[in-house]
Amino acid sequence: MKVTEHINRSDKTLFSFELLPPVKGKGIQSIFDAIDPLMEFNPPFIDVTYHREDFIYKQRENGLLEKVSYRKRPGTVAICAAIMHRYQVDAIPHLICGGFTKEETENALIELNFLGIDNVLVLRGDARKADPNFVPTPGGHAYALELLEQVKQMNEGKFLHEDVTEPGNFCIGVAGYPEKHFEAPNMKSDLRYLKMKVDKGAEYIVTQMFFDNQKYIDFVKACREAGIHVPIIPGLKPITGSRQLMTLPKIFHIDIPEALSEEILKCKDEKQVKEVGIEWLIDQSRELIRLGAPVLHYYTMGTAHPTHQIAKAIF
């Protein structure tokens, strides 16, 4: 079932969450261990991220360095299939530009369509660690909008080199940034590109994490004023360690509210930090439900316990 159908059929705020594929060497049981505790809250769908290929340099016997491609995490398509088979819920794979040619993207979409997957979240993806900026894969897409257009064309029965009689039927989601994408010069510009995605066929938006609900309120208002009327799902994550006061703003380009950071700095140990972070997100979640958010979407980072504790308090 499509995300939009889940939302339209519900008279209350829904619960969903996002998983990281396990690191190389771990089996599918690590995924199930992260999902099992959260199934009591009846998530209609579960997102599975994708991590692009990266490179390392290995020294040869002659002293020269060899550039070697590797992937840290197993494939998202297989994990989605396993989730749907075991839990009978919709799995939403993330599609990214980086690391894929257009042909490889088409092949992935064919597999997803074959598996009966109804939703995809379309993203540009991050730059490789060694690159200061995002570098498109040769023969691939440079922007999420281009990737979205390819998915839309498949929905219309148009492949890269031929037309097909059985088109896809993907509900397409995209990312939104309540505090602006870090590469956008201003919020107005960011919203203009977001509206282009919606006009091209995006049917829902999932936001970057935020810790101040006013950011989400203002973002939704700005979207509506810009003519964006699809569901906007807030993305949420609890702070679970004191180092995240520095790492989250650096990696995700977000602000930590002063009240939250001050409470964390008062903590005597990491256990207290986690308790403060969870309580903050419980309060955030309750307010978002009162505001009528269609879904609360939690970034679990592969760990079920904090999200379970939050969901237990509010759902």
Query: Is 279 in the active site?
Result: no
CA angle (146, 149, 152) in 5-degree steps: 160
Are 147 and 122 contacting, i.e. CB atoms less than 8 angstroms apart? Answer: yes
pLDDT at position 128 is 66
Looking at 1.20.1630.10, 3.40.50.720, 3.20.20.60, 3.20.20.220, the CATH number of the domain 3-314 comes to: 3.20.20.220
Query: So what's the pLDDT on residue 54?
Result: 54
pLDDT value of residue 71: 55
| Residue 129: predicted pLDDT | 65
Give the pLDDT confidence score for residue 208 in this predicted structure. Answer: 98
- 5, 18, 53, 287: which is the annotated catalytic residue? 18
User: Where are the domains positioned within the chain?
Assistant: 3-314
pLDDT averaged over consecutive 10-residue blocks of the chain (315 residues)? 98 95 76 95 95 59 60 74 96 92 92 94 80 82 95 91 80 98 95 97 98 98 98 97 96 96 96 97 98 97 92 96
Number of Cβ within a 10 Å radius of residue 269: 8
Q: Which residues on adjacent β-strands are paired with residue 204?
A: 173
3-state secondary structure the chain: CCHHHHHHHCCCCEEEEEECCCCCCCCCHHHHHHHHHHHHHCCCEEEECCCCCEEEEEECCCCCEEEEEECCCCCHHHHHHHHHHHHCCEEEEEEECCCCCHHHHHHHHHHHHHCCCCEEEEECCCCCCCCCCCCCCCCCCCCHHHHHHHHHHHHCCECCCCECCCCCCCEEEEEECCCCCCCCCCHHHHHHHHHHHHHCCCCEEEEEECCCHHHHHHHHHHHHHCCCCCCEEEEECCCCCCCHHHHHHHHHCCCCCHHHHHHHHCCCCHHHHHHHHHHHHHHHHHHHHHCCCCEEEEECCCCHHHHHHHHHHHC
Backbone angles phi and psi of 41, in degrees to 5: -95, 10
Return the number of other C-beta atoms located less than 10 Å from residue 279's C-beta.
Answer: 15
In one-letter notation, the amino acid at residue 234 is: P
- Please check whether residue 73 is in contact with residue 22, taking contact to mean a CB–CB distance below 8 angstroms: yes
Give CA–CA dist 230/16, Å, rounded: 18
Q: Per the structure block, which two tokens stand in for 230?
A: 């699809």
Locus of tokens 């066929």: 201
At residue 301, the pLDDT reads 84
